[in-house]
């Protein structure tokens, strides 16, 4: 019955698309000077271009259906951004072929065929969406029905155990989510909190950023991750989570630990695979020959309608960013950072292209009945960096993320397997004017001035910008001079990760002690600890201990004994625990710099040029959230660290109790 209905529905969609496309061709014939449809005598001395338009629309549609998937698979070796561009040229080639097979029109130049194919395909995609309904969710659910029809012979899970769908909203803090729920920004999440799910906060490690969290959550261990980027003294290499090869190394180091997604799982839009064999837009798989099949995004482009809907959304997002940036400057809203250059394209990639591709992959996963799915929606985090954590344009992006979750819940309701839906974030964000804006010099410039020498640093790009670079590159080879640069061995290396700074001295062997640093650079430590933009320093001592130094006091890391004013007093009860853990890392920097935090305004001063930032401690950056169905066992409170979240999700993944038919719509739909 379901297959018959799907066939009838597909036939109706085809007829509507065919006829409407023919009228679109007639309209293009009237608009474009280089296109002339042949006329046919239809009687009563009347000539019409409709028969030619119907013939061309039919052949173009058939060729699109037959050739587009083949061509997309053949071009799967390129990055998704380049593939996205090539898709437009492909439409023109198909139109030229259609005109050759049915010579019902005269075209002055092959380029005109491209101009004709692009709006025709776009019109077809819009009509396809209107056939389903007027909302984007309804359009996507139409794709669900099509996938169900295509996968009708795929074996279904034999047991009644529900799958687990984990949706990560990158960068959304617990407090910001609560306000968004109260203000009606996220109606889907609000309904889940009020009716079916439990909302709790959890506490990140000191390194409050996606790399540390996802490594801990997906692979069960984030030891030796001091920041988003760090300097490795032994090799002179600067590691970063935007580098595919570095991420691959992190996974290899944890190969003895079973990943969260190792058994019939899928990883979508993440930094790591989590042990999954099926990956889409996963940075650790965007390296060299693995980019095509390993990156897994090709299937999204097999549907030209989806690709063209996405490009329309990207163009709208770029225009939206340009308008919002101008308004922010015009109203002199502060703090703010420059939003030009490549950023509008980065925003379009993260909020539209990456979201569309990963969402389509998750929908297919649920239709196929995978056991566990983990997807990262990165748009909110990217816009927060440049606009602020709860400003109108940022909340508008969050509202669209909420709409995506509504779509995934609706898709889950149509899957044969029931799904428990867990929503979580990897960290929050804290806001404030940057270190450079406040003090007129960056952290590297400050260290350079205090040391009386040049310092080595890198171009500290946002994680999402690194993802965009990896996605656009054919071989995903990191840009020389960015995160993977082998730096000189005689100059201090200064890196920033939100309001966490890392200073290393390559000419001092091993982990440099406080005494060795004072000898090599007299006055540096005291000048840093008393700087108004620095909250505290972590340094090792010659006697084998470590100490946290603030402007008016210090803390012994091992004993917790405070002398003078406690520099950690405003950073939460778990601040010293986080520092103790990082202090055991093999690659901890010689000086770990904790940026200042002002509790009266809940602001920080990032060492990167970002309005909203994360990576260290202070404010909401350290308190993400976890939202889970009532039927799942409550995790022990409080939840500290990404490795604890891994254990919680693994327990829920392995929960054997089935979801009955009455409960299925509650947790999944």
**110-132 and 50-74 are packed helices; what angle lies between their axes, rounded to 10 degrees?**
90
Residue 35, pLDDT score = 78
- What confidence category does residue 366 fall into, taking pLDDT thresholds of 50, 70 and 90? very high
Structure tokens at 397: 């992006």
pLDDT reading at 639 higher than 70? yes
Give the pLDDT confidence of 337-356 residue by residue, as tens digits: 999 999 999 999 999 989 99
Distance CA 150, CA 364 (A): 11
Distance CA 78, CA 84 (A): 10
Distance CA 381, CA 269 (A): 13
- What confidence category does residue 51 fall into, taking pLDDT thresholds of 50, 70 and 90? confident
Distance CA 568, CA 419 (A): 42
Residue 390, pLDDT score = 96
What is the mean predicted confidence (pLDDT) over 492-518?
96
Rounded to the nearest 5°, which phi and psi values hold at 513? -90, 165
**463-472 and 80-101 are packed helices; what angle lies between their axes, rounded to 10 degrees?**
40
Query: Chain centroid to CA 137: how far?
Result: 20
What is the mean predicted confidence (pLDDT) over 274-298?
70
DSSP H/E element including 603: strand 603-604
Structure tokens at 53: 């338009």
CA angle 527, 555, 510 (to 5 degrees): 70
What is the mean predicted confidence (pLDDT) over 115-136?
61
User: Are the C-beta atoms of 163 and 419 separated by less than 8 Å?
Assistant: yes
**CB half-sphere exposure, 301, CA atoms < 13 A:** 30
pLDDT reading at 636 higher than 80? yes
Note the CATH number of domain 162-220+250-280+293-298+336-431+620-668.
Answer: 3.40.720.10
pLDDT reading at 661 higher than 60? no
Q: Which residues of 535-548 are buried (b: 16+ CB within 10 A; e: fewer)?
A: bbbbbbeeeeebbb
Residue 103's SS3 state is coil
Calculate what percentage of the chain has a pLDDT beyond 90: 61
Give the pLDDT confidence of 61-72 residue by residue, as tens digits: 788 777 766 766
Give the pLDDT confidence of 413-443 residue by residue, as tens digits: 888 899 999 999 999 999 999 999 999 999 9
Separation in Å, CA 514 to CA 511, 536, 590 = 10, 14, 8
- What confidence category does residue 301 fall into, taking pLDDT thresholds of 50, 70 and 90? low
Closest CA to 453 of 445, 461, 443: 445
User: Are the C-beta atoms of 476 and 555 separated by less than 8 Å?
Assistant: no
The more confidently predicted of residues 66 and 624 is 624
Closest CA to 578 of 538, 531, 620: 538
Q: Which residues of 207-219 are buried (b: 16+ CB within 10 A; e: fewer)?
A: bbbbbbbbbbbbb
Rounded to the nearest 5°, which phi and psi values hold at 172? -90, 115
User: Are the C-beta atoms of 261 and 245 separated by less than 8 Å?
Assistant: no
Give the pLDDT confidence of 91-105 residue by residue, as tens digits: 778 888 888 888 888
**642-653 and 210-219 are packed helices; what angle lies between their axes, rounded to 10 degrees?**
40
Separation in Å, CA 668 to CA 192, 195, 420, 647 = 10, 13, 5, 22
Closest CA to 162 of 648, 657, 512: 657
- Residue owning tokens 């940036």: 325
Which ranges in 476-593 belong to alpha helices (H)? Answer: 514-520, 524-529, 575-583
Separation in Å, CA 362 to CA 370, 405, 441 = 10, 11, 44
Give the pLDDT confidence of 155-211 residue by residue, as tens digits: 554 557 899 999 999 999 999 999 999 999 999 999 999 999 999 999 999 999 999
- Report for 61-65, 300-304, 369-373, 655-659: range of highest mean pLDDT: 369-373
Strands laid side by side in the 197-201 sheet = 197-201, 625-629, 419-424, 163-169, 372-377, 265-268, 278-280
Separation in Å, CA 472 to CA 86, 239, 283, 311, 646 = 12, 20, 12, 15, 31
What is the mean predicted confidence (pLDDT) over 491-504?
96
159 exposure class (CB count in 10 Å sphere: 0-12, 13-18, 19+): exposed
User: Are the C-beta atoms of 508 and 590 separated by less than 8 Å?
Assistant: yes
127 exposure class (CB count in 10 Å sphere: 0-12, 13-18, 19+): middle
Query: For 308-312, 467-471, 502-506, which range has the lowest pLDDT when averaged over its residues?
Result: 467-471
Residue 236's SS3 state is coil
DSSP H/E element including 421: strand 419-424
Residue 285, pLDDT score = 86
pLDDT reading at 247 higher than 80? yes
Residue 466, pLDDT score = 52
Calculate what percentage of the chain has a pLDDT beyond 70: 78
Contacts of residue 352, defined as CB under 8 A and 6 or more positions apart, other chains included, come to 310, 313, 314, 317, 379
DSSP H/E element including 604: strand 603-604
Separation in Å, CA 344 to CA 315, 316, 338, 347 = 10, 11, 11, 5
pLDDT reading at 631 higher than 60? yes
Distance CA 203, CA 502 (A): 22
Structure tokens at 223: 């030891």
Structure tokens at 59: 């052949």
Structure tokens at 225: 């991750």
Distance CA 261, CA 273 (A): 8
Give the pLDDT confidence of 583-597 residue by residue, as tens digits: 999 999 999 999 999
pLDDT reading at 472 higher than 60? no
Pairing, β 625-629 against β 197-201: antiparallel
Residue 45, pLDDT score = 58
Residue 323, pLDDT score = 96
Distance CA 93, CA 96 (A): 5
Residue 266's SS3 state is strand
- What confidence category does residue 135 fall into, taking pLDDT thresholds of 50, 70 and 90? very low
Distance CA 318, CA 349 (A): 10
- Report for 133-137, 138-142, 369-373, 461-465: range of highest mean pLDDT: 369-373
What pTM value is reported for the model? 0.81
What is the mean predicted confidence (pLDDT) over 440-458?
90
Give the pLDDT confidence of 527-574 residue by residue, as tens digits: 999 999 999 999 999 999 999 999 999 999 999 999 999 999 999 999
Residue 328, pLDDT score = 95
Residue 37, pLDDT score = 87
Contacts of residue 423, defined as CB under 8 A and 6 or more positions apart, other chains included, come to 166, 167, 168, 169, 189, 192, 197, 405, 625, 627
Average pLDDT, the chain: 84
What are the domain boundaries of the chain?
A: 2-132, 162-220+250-280+293-298+336-431+620-668, 435-456+491-610
């Amino acid at each position: 019955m379901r297959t018959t209905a799907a066939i009838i529905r597909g036939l109706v969609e085809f007829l509507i698309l065919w006829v409407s496309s023919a009228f679109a061709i007639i309209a293009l014939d009237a608009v474009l000077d280089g296109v002339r449809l042949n006329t046919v005598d239809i009687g009563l001395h009347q000539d019409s271009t409709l028969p030619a338009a119907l013939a061309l629309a039919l052949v173009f549609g058939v060729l699109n259906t037959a050739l587009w998937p083949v061509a997309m698979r053949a071009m799967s070796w390129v990055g998704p951004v380049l593939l996205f561009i090539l898709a437009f040229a492909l439409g023109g080639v198909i139109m030229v072929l259609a005109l050759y097979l049915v010579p019902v029109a005269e075209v002055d130049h092959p380029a005109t065929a491209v101009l004709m194919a692009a709006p025709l395909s776009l019109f077809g995609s819009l009509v396809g969406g209107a056939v389903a309904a007027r909302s984007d969710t309804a359009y996507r659910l139409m794709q669900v029905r099509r996938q169900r029809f295509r996968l009708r012979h795929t074996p279904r899970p034999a047991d009644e155990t529900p799958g687990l769908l984990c949706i990560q909203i990158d960068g959304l803090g617990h407090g910001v989510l609560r306000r968004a729920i109260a203000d009606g920004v996220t109606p889907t999440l609000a309904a889940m909190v009020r009716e079916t799910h439990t909302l709790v906060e959890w506490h990140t490690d000191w390194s409050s950023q996606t790399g540390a969290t996802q490594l801990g959550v997906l692979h069960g261990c984030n030891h030796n991750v001091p920041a988003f980027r760090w300097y490795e003294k032994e090799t002179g290499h600067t590691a970063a989570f935007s580098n595919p090869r570095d991420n691959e190394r992190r996974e290899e180091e944890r190969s003895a630990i079973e990943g969260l997604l190792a058994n019939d799982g899928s990883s979508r839009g993440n930094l790591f695979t989590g042990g999954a064999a099926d990956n889409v837009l996963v940075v650790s798989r965007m390296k060299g020959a693995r980019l095509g099949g390993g990156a897994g995004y090709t299937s999204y482009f097999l549907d030209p309608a989806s690709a063209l809907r996405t490009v329309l959304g990207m163009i709208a997002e770029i225009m939206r960013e340009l308008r919002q940036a101008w308004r922010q400057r015009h109203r002199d809203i502060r703090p703010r950072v420059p939003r030009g250059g490549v950023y509008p394209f980065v925003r379009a990639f993260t909020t539209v292209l990456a979201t569309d591709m990963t969402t389509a992959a998750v929908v297919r996963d649920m239709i196929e009945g995978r056991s566990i799915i983990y997807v990262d929606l990165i748009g909110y985090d990217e816009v927060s960096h440049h606009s602020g954590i709860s400003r109108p344009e940022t909340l508008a992006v969050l509202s669209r993320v909420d709409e995506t979750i509504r779509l995934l819940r609706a898709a889950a309701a149509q899957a044969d397997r029931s799904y428990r839906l867990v929503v979580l974030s990897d960290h929050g964000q804290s806001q404030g004017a940057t270190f450079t804006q406040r003090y007129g010099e960056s952290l590297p410039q400050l260290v350079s001035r205090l040391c009386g020498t040049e310092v080595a640093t890198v171009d500290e790009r946002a994680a999402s910008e690194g993802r965009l670079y990896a996605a656009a590159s054919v071989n995903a080879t990191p840009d020389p001079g960015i995160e993977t640069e082998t730096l000189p061995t005689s100059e201090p290396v200064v890196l920033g990760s939100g309001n966490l700074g890392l200073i290393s001295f390559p000419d001092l062997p091993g982990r440099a002690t406080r005494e060795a640093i004072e000898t090599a650079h007299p006055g540096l430590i005291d000048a840093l600890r008393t700087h108004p933009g620095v909250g505290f320093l972590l340094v090792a001592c010659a006697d084998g201990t470590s100490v946290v130094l603030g402007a008016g006091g210090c803390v012994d890391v091992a004993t917790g004994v405070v002398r003078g004013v406690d520099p950690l007093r405003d950073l939460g009860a778990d601040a010293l625990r986080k520092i103790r853990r990082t202090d055991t890392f093999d690659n901890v920097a010689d000086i770990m710099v904790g940026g200042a935090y002002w509790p009266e305004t809940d602001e920080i001063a990032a060492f990167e040029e970002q309005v909203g930032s994360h990576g260290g401690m202070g404010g909401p950056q350290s308190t993400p959230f976890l939202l889970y169905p009532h039927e799942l066992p409550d995790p022990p409170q409080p939840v500290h660290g990404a490795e604890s979240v891994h254990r919680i999700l693994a327990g829920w993944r392995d929960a054997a109790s089935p979801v009955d038919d009455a409960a299925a719509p509650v947790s999944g739909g």
